[in-house]
Structure 1
Amino acid sequence: MSMKLHHRVDGPAGAPLLVLGPSLGTTLDIWEPQLSALTEVWRVLRYDLPGHGGSAPAASGLTIDDLARAVLDLVDDDHDDEFAVGGISLGGAIATAIAAGEQAAAPRRRVRSLVLCCTSARFGEPGPWLERAALVRASGVAQLAPALAARWFTAGYDGRWVTDMLDGVDAESYAACCEAIASCDLTGRLPAITAPTLIVAGADDPATPLGQALTLAQGIPGALLRVVPGAAHLASVERADAVTPAIVQHLGGDSSHAAGMRTRREVLGDAHVDRAVAATTGFTRDFQHLITRYAWDEIWNRPGLDRRTRSCVTLTALVARGQLDELAMHVRAALRNGLTPDEIGEVLLQTAIYCGVPAANAAFAVAQRVLSQD
């Protein structure tokens, strides 16, 4: 079954790709609580299910593998390298199918990381899902809102911005997705997943209870399970304060890369960092990751010196080593960090004594050019 899913891409060009899928009845906007944090490091592709948001309707006979192929078509149109993939509920099952469907005979595995939120390898017996499909075909989707709100969120949580998404969902497409869920059983395919996997479960989730999360955790080699207290089925919305850092940490291996990227942008500016990220290749990716984590987080974010002082030290070191291209970049950074042109001149004047007059002469020429442009 061929289909084209509506999607949206956010984040810096050239950054590694992260693909995120929504739950049944919601749109790609379900990932808004995580988007700001994720796009600091990732180029995030979010998609709508058939008949949801901006995607065209779908007919009956839909399967999870059909949806997985449609998502992979989006990836192939946009990206030919490794990518991370994740999803909530039905979106999580689609991500699971993608990660489990990589063939051992393929030249390389493309899924580098997997995030599964409030999802399952098998969503219970098919009967209730087929009954829901029939009900929606007869009465529409919006009438499910009260019942779904009680499953999506714990009592007292106001998630109306999410339940309002039901108003625009095509009934036949919703029913077709119910049928896909009814026939879904990925349990036997879980051991084939090799990507590092984070499983997020809401402690109070009635739709995909903890037992289903444990099945995923036990079936996927090396998977990490994170149970979020005070959350029902849409834990990434209700407890974004807990879920977002867990996802960022899992995707980055640690939080250092995200913190370093934030500082790098604050010091050097978005335009410079965007150019550097866009120019990253498979050959240079590990080096870019290294400097982001160690230079921009573990050094620049240390509390012992403020950024003005670190700029002074950096300017001096670059003059001493004759790194004039880097010096130009850090003259601009020094301005962003609060140094005045006169203070930059004082730093360079002192380098004439300790680094040598020729080195300082070249440095003044670079700084003069930069300062005259800014």
Structure 2
Amino acid sequence: MTDRLLNHRAEGAPSAPPLLLGPSLGTSCALWDAVAPELSAAHRVIRWDLPGHGGSAAGLITAGASVGDLADLVLALADALGAQRFAYAGVSLGGAVGLYLALHHPERVSSLAVICSSAHFNGAGPWEERAALVRREGLADLAESANARWFTPGFTVPRLVRDHRDADPESYAACCDALAAFDLRDRLAEISVPTLLIAGREDPATPPAHLREIADAVPGAALVEIPGASHLAPAERPEAVLSALRAHLDGGARRGMEVRREVLGDAHVDRAQQRQTPFTARFQDFISRYAWGEIWTDPTLSRRERSMITLTALVAHGHYEELAIHVRAARRNGLTPEEIGAVLLQTAVYCGVPAANSAFAAAQRVLAEEDTAAG
């Protein structure tokens, strides 16, 4: 089964929010060597290789492949790793995969960063010509010009040039086929996930105008231009890319903290923050970023509905101290005492009478305290 999955490398705590990193054509997951370890402090970072690149099998795509085919392979990898919802960042072809995922599978993508990429790649002709050339002559000659296409003058990353030379020619050509057919310009306005565009100011392949075109069309998108960066910005200017990505990804934590305070109240959150230690800091960040920044902000369910589900789950597992906190939260989310009682009565049927008895006692204390405070 593993040979049917994209080769990948995972870093960071398995419980951290997942972040998938996509590569540019001709490179491998080594493109992210200077960025991924830093991002893994707060995320479960998963880098992947294109078919026939790095460690990925060559037969994963064939001639006539599309960016959608590559996106399907990324989703299969995410499924295999248990990443139901993930943040995504990708360079060039990897960025095109991210745009496709955000458009066609928005329920899977919590945020998107598109780096040195485009909603189109200057038409089919040049890519069809490159695909034919590679199928005919291989990659050795094309790899000789990699530095000029990828980096500013005088800069290189030998490992990435070697990966270019060692890629499977047929897989590389199939990726060219995908780029030739890719054009999402007329659908960019449909993308709804938080989106960041990062442009290399010296990038000849996907110049800043291409990223600006996406930023202007995607609602709420932000654009960052990096001076002194060409097409492979994460390798050439990793500090600038890392700074932009951190600011973008931390937006979920900030929004999560806002929602956490709205639901649980300032007093509770302040107490939790005051008790935070270096040992518990990552857990508190996980709660704010994932539980409150992704789950509680998902518009599929209302906050009233989420409160009812949360009360039920806490009763089922006997977490009565936490239940008291969420009875208060349920009142903030608009539930009446009668509705809270109805939820707890329902738990008596499916969670057991003793559990519901303890739950009613905890809820009654909270509601009495609220009545006293109101009086």
- So what's the TM-score if we normalise by structure 2? 0.67
Q: In the alignment, is residue 4 of structure 1 matched against residue 5 of structure 2?
A: yes
Q: In the alignment, is residue 51 of structure 1 matched against residue 57 of structure 2?
A: no
Q: In the alignment, is residue 13 of structure 1 matched against residue 14 of structure 2?
A: yes
Q: In the alignment, is residue 285 of structure 1 matched against residue 291 of structure 2?
A: yes
Query: By how many angstroms is 1:285 displaced?
Result: 3.0
Q: How many residues align?
A: 272
Residue 363 of structure 1 is matched in structure 2 by: none
Q: From the superposition, tell whether residues 255 and 14 of structure 1 become closer, same or farther in structure 2 (CA, over 3 Å).
A: closer
Alpha-carbon RMSD across the aligned residues, in angstroms, is 2.9
Q: From the superposition, tell whether residues 68 and 179 of structure 1 become closer, same or farther in structure 2 (CA, over 3 Å).
A: same
CA distance in 2, matches of 1:185, 1:222: 21
Native 8 Å contact 2:147 2:155 kept in 1: no
Native 8 Å contact 2:254 2:289 kept in 1: no
**Matched ranges for 1:270-281 at <5 A:** 276=283
Q: 1:261-304, CA deviations, whole angstroms, 9 ceiling, x for partnerless residues?
A: xxx99943xxx778x589x67998339xxxxxxxxxxxxxxxxx
CA distance in 1, matches of 2:169, 2:47: 22
Q: In the alignment, is residue 139 of structure 1 matched against residue 140 of structure 2?
A: no
> What percent of counterpart residues are identical?
44
CA distance in 2, matches of 1:284, 1:117: 24
Q: 1:228-251, CA deviations, whole angstroms, 9 ceiling, x for partnerless residues?
A: 111111112111121111111111
CA distance in 2, matches of 1:284, 1:101: 22
CA distance in 2, matches of 1:254, 1:195: 11
Residue 33 of structure 2 is matched in structure 1 by: 32
Q: 1:169-202, CA deviations, whole angstroms, 9 ceiling, x for partnerless residues?
A: 0000000000110000111221121111110001
- Which residue of 76, 96, 100 corresponds with 1:97? 100
CA distance in 1, matches of 2:242, 2:198: 10
Native 8 Å contact 1:63 1:179 kept in 2: yes
Residue 339 of structure 1 is matched in structure 2 by: none
CA distance in 2, matches of 1:255, 1:283: 4
Query: By how many angstroms is 1:161 displaced?
Result: 2.4
What secondary structure does 1:50 align onto? coil
Q: 1:13-59, CA deviations, whole angstroms, 9 ceiling, x for partnerless residues?
A: 11001111100000011111111221010001111101001111132
Q: Which amino acid aligns with 2:42?
A: V
- Which residue of 197, 200, 203 corresponds with 2:201? 203
CA distance in 2, matches of 1:158, 1:175: 24
Q: Which runs of 5+ in 2 are unaligned?
A: 256-274, 294-375
Q: From the superposition, tell whether residues 42 and 25 of structure 1 become closer, same or farther in structure 2 (CA, over 3 Å).
A: same
Q: Which amino acid aligns with 1:87?
A: G
- Which residue of 86, 95, 101 corresponds with 1:83? 86
CA distance in 2, matches of 1:67, 1:246: 26
- Which residue of 122, 125, 137 corresponds with 2:123? 125
Q: From the superposition, tell whether residues 284 and 163 of structure 1 become closer, same or farther in structure 2 (CA, over 3 Å).
A: closer
Q: Which amino acid aligns with 1:50?
A: P
CA distance in 1, matches of 2:147, 2:198: 19
Native 8 Å contact 2:7 2:55 kept in 1: yes
Q: Which runs of 5+ in 1 are unaligned?
A: 104-108, 258-263, 288-374
Q: From the superposition, tell whether residues 265 and 119 of structure 1 become closer, same or farther in structure 2 (CA, over 3 Å).
A: farther
What secondary structure does 1:33 align onto? coil
Q: 1:136-182, CA deviations, whole angstroms, 9 ceiling, x for partnerless residues?
A: 11111122123221010001113222212113200000000001100
CA distance in 1, matches of 2:165, 2:281: 40
CA distance in 1, matches of 2:290, 2:18: 16
CA distance in 1, matches of 2:20, 2:212: 24
Native 8 Å contact 2:18 2:46 kept in 1: yes
CA distance in 2, matches of 1:74, 1:37: 22
Q: From the superposition, tell whether residues 224 and 139 of structure 1 become closer, same or farther in structure 2 (CA, over 3 Å).
A: same
CA distance in 1, matches of 2:68, 2:74: 10
Query: By how many angstroms is 1:220 displaced?
Result: 1.0
Native 8 Å contact 2:147 2:156 kept in 1: no
Native 8 Å contact 1:14 1:277 kept in 2: no
Native 8 Å contact 1:37 1:248 kept in 2: no
Query: By how many angstroms is 1:110 displaced?
Result: 2.9
Residue 112 of structure 1 is matched in structure 2 by: 110
CA distance in 2, matches of 1:277, 1:66: 37
Q: Which amino acid aligns with 2:191?
A: I
Q: 1:84-119, CA deviations, whole angstroms, 9 ceiling, x for partnerless residues?
A: 11100000000110001136xxxxx23111010000
CA distance in 1, matches of 2:218, 2:85: 20
CA distance in 2, matches of 1:282, 1:156: 43
Q: From the superposition, tell whether residues 134 and 284 of structure 1 become closer, same or farther in structure 2 (CA, over 3 Å).
A: closer
Q: Which amino acid aligns with 2:82?
A: H
CA distance in 2, matches of 1:254, 1:100: 20
Q: Which amino acid aligns with 2:14?
A: A
Q: Which amino acid aligns with 1:68?
A: A
Residue 231 of structure 1 is matched in structure 2 by: 229
Q: From the superposition, tell whether residues 266 and 173 of structure 1 become closer, same or farther in structure 2 (CA, over 3 Å).
A: farther
What secondary structure does 1:253 align onto? helix
Query: By how many angstroms is 1:256 displaced?
Result: 8.5
CA distance in 1, matches of 2:57, 2:160: 20
- Which residue of 63, 66, 69 corresponds with 1:63? 66
**Matched ranges for 1:314-353 at <5 A:** none
